[in-house]
Chain A
Amino acid sequence: MPTRSHTLVVQVEDHPGVLNRVMSLFRQRGFNVDSVAVGHAEAPGISRMTFVISGDDKIVEQVTKQLYKLLEVIKVNDVTGENTIQRELALIKVNANDRTRADIMRIATDIFRARFVDASPDSLTLEVTGPSDKIESLLTMIRPYGIKEVARTGLVAMTRGGGTGTLSIVRDAVA
């Protein structure tokens, strides 16, 4: 079975230690996590975790089933290949001097619509949002200038259109 990248949206009860339980499960069973993003969801008491994991479909099915065995996990959605909006935010600090500054700014703003959030005599810090591959592309383009620091949030995802796909069960649970 081919290995590919999967995006899992996991809705969990917002209790202390839940992230630990989820990550412990991934570690224990040898599932590879490429990125993780956690924050509050729309309903009170519910957190939304977005995982990017790589593996074949069988592994992802096993991940999903094992996640459901955790008490706090309410809903797992594999949104891979669905019509989803996927976004990640990155802060990138790159070497810049009078000679290179203009080039970096042109690449970052014209092509990647990044914003500049800080500058110093020898660096620029830019903020970019988009799908992970866009951030990868930007990093590739500016790497020759010398990247000093990168901070990425991990991917978050949401399905397009009016449906929520994840919420009815969550609402029932909270009500």
Chain B
Amino acid sequence: MTATAKAASAPPIAEAEPAAKAEASAKPNIGARVLCQALEREGVEVIFGYPGGAVIPLYDVLPEFGINHVLVRHEQGAGHAADGYARATGRVGVCLATSGPGATNLVTPIATAMLDSIPLVAITGQVPQAVIGSDAFQEIDITGITLPITKHNFLVRRVEDIGPTVQKAFHLASTGRPGPVLIDIPKDVLLAKGELAPLRPIELAGYKPTYTPHRRQIKLAAQELRNARRPVILAGHGIILSGAMDALRELAERAQIPVGLTLLGIGGFPQAHRLCLGMVGMHGFAHANRAIHEADFVLGVGMRFDDRVTGKLSEFAPNARIVHIDIDPAELGKNVPTVVPIVGDARQGLQMLAAEIEPLEHDEWLAEIDEWRRVPPYRLSRPSRTLQPQYVMERLHHLTAGNAIVTTDVGQHQMWAAQFYRCDTPRNWISSGGLGTMGFGVPAALGAALGRPGEDVWAVVGDGGVQMTLFEFATIVQQRCRVKTAIINNGYLGMVRQWQQFFHDSNYSETLISGPDFVMLGTAYGMASRRVERREEVDEAIRWAQAIDGPALIEFVVGQEENVFPMIPSGASFKDLIEEGV
């Protein structure tokens, strides 16, 4: 039915109004429109989605609105793209799927967003309420399934609840410790007549995040810092989420404290800064982990002392008194005992602490760290007959001047990218940290590219992970995104192979993995694609991809058994650090 036909059957009242308005008001307002209106009201510009039976009413009205719907090729792609969009822009990412399999395909992206505290709103269609509970076609209890992997979720039962629910969902997703929120809407609610309820102040009795830390705790923290001779700051994702980069730098410089970054803290502090230790943890720099090991004071801020950061808890920072700032009170004291727990926003906490503390000097300590730093962490110059992935990352950093957005999958290439693409800019480093989701990189790049059009996005992925979500190449090509995919192809599920080599007598069980001809594959999808096998070709290939106004793909064929160093084995401590060449 055309819009004209709908207007013809409109109630008489429409005739009195101006033509344009008449057409809109002629259509009976239904839940699907109310939902779109509510999303527009939240400032949603892009939705990543995939249609299906339960959401047909929504797709029926979506073209009436100024929301760009990006049709993905799999709902998992929609979820990760919305996540990548959120990480790249700081706005709430929105994805949409139908009931049943559409909804379950969002589970991995929702969990990814949960573990990394990403503001995501996932909207799913549901079967009509009359048949809920009857195992109807494409019925699944998605609110039940996503209970432990959402910050909160809603099943909307009445059309008048759509507006307030959307308002609450965006509020919950983006405030406090951000996270994913799911809204499940039965088809009959989308079809029911109704109007958008006006915005009302949100009243959630059980949700009052604390942003401003308690002054007494800040004073205690300042005193701990004053007493310290060997302080270290451990900065996490919270720095980026709260926009605390300036506050972190202010405190670090004022009190002369070296700063270590967690995987997701990368971008929160300039890596070339004298005080920057770089990444810490399992594959962090040796000097950074050593600094924590020798520290007498650790300030963890916007991070959660995850096991990939701490290693063996009982031997983590054995000499340090730990002060911890986090907006989520449940993180304080969860993994490590703290002398001063501080509930609050990372930015405010750092600002208050900087204001409380007088300028300090730690020359001796910094000189000591610089001495450890003098040992180059990796010998890139070592002769190799094969292309070294570390070299590719280093060149990528150089040729993009570190200004590109980089997304990754999970595994060796992710660690090489973290170590050698020395990202300095918040929201330019996009990687699945907590859940460790293979297949994240390509769809996340799609989302980042749509959030920041005109900027180059490099999807750095392995030959294993890319095969999990490469269907989104079609979306990337369709959207003409400036996504440059760098496949680091070593023919193995490299990180697992590395563990097998170190801890399972090189029993490479099921980690040798084949793939398609990636150049032909990229070409088939309509992407400029090429293969690089020699060191001398790397720069030229990267420049070639940069010059293309649209997507491009480079397959870097690298050494098969290249390892990520240094490495602290799982559940071990700094003392067990493996430097290189086992």
Contact = CB atoms under 8 A, between A and B. Distances in A.
A25 B147 CA distance: 9
Given A17-B143, A20-B147, A71-B172, A173 B205 contact: yes
Of B143, B205, B328, B333, most A-chain CB atoms within 10 Å: B205
Contacts of B206: 12-13, 68, 70-74, 173
Contacts of B148: 24-25, 28
Interface stretch (A48-56, A57-65, A146-154): A57-65
Interface in B194-220: 204-207
A173 B205 CA distance: 5
A71 B207 contact: yes
Nearest to B149: A28
Contact of B329 (A58, A68, A74, A170): A68
B144 interface: yes
Nearest to B143: A17
A19 to B, nearest CB: 12
A13 B205 contact: yes
A62 B330 contact: yes
Nearest to B204: A71
A70 B147 CA distance: 10
Contact of B330 (A21, A58, A69, A73): A69
A77 to B, nearest CB: 14
B334 interface: yes
Interface string B326-348: 00111001100000000000000
A25 B330 CA distance: 13
B152 to A, nearest CB: 5
A58 B332 CA distance: 11
Contact of B328 (A58, A69, A169): A69
A20 B330 contact: no
A66 interface: yes
B177 to A, nearest CB: 8
Contacts of B152: 71
Interface residues of B, number: 15
Nearest to A172: B205
Main secondary structure of the interface of A (DSSP, over half): helix
A168 to B, nearest CB: 12
Contacts of B205: 13, 74, 169-170, 172-174
Given A24-B148, A71-B152, A73-B206, A61 B143 contact: no
Contacts of A17: 143
Contact of B147 (A21, A62, A74, A170): A21
A61 B333 contact: yes
Contacts of A169: 205
Contacts of B143: 17
Nearest to A62: B334
A58 B147 contact: no
Contacts of B204: 71
Nearest to A173: B205
Contacts of A25: 148
Contacts of B207: 71
Nearest to A75: B206
B164 to A, nearest CB: 14
Contacts of A28: 148
A49 to B, nearest CB: 13
A162 to B, nearest CB: 24
A28 B149 CA distance: 10
Contact of A65 (B144, B172, B330): B330
A50 to B, nearest CB: 18
A62 B179 CA distance: 19
Contacts of A69: 328, 330
A23 to B, nearest CB: 10
Nearest to A16: B155
B144 A20 contact: yes
Interface string A137-148: 000000000000
Contacts of B329: 65, 68
B117 to A, nearest CB: 12
A58 B335 CA distance: 10
Contacts of A74: 205-206
A68 B176 CA distance: 13
Nearest to B179: A69
Nearest to B343: A65
A172 B203 CA distance: 11
A13 B172 CA distance: 17
Which of A68, A71, A73: most chain B Cβ within 10 A?
Answer: A71
A80 B147 CA distance: 29
6 contacts: A20-B144, A68-B329, A68-B330, A71-B152, A72-B206, A74-B206
Interface of A: 12-13, 17, 20-21, 24-25, 28, 58, 61-62, 65-66, 68-74, 169-170, 172-174
Given A62-B334, A71-B207, 7 more contacts: A13-B205, A62-B330, A65-B329, A65-B330, A68-B206, A170-B205, A172-B205
Interface of B: 143-144, 147-148, 152, 172, 204-207, 328-330, 333-334
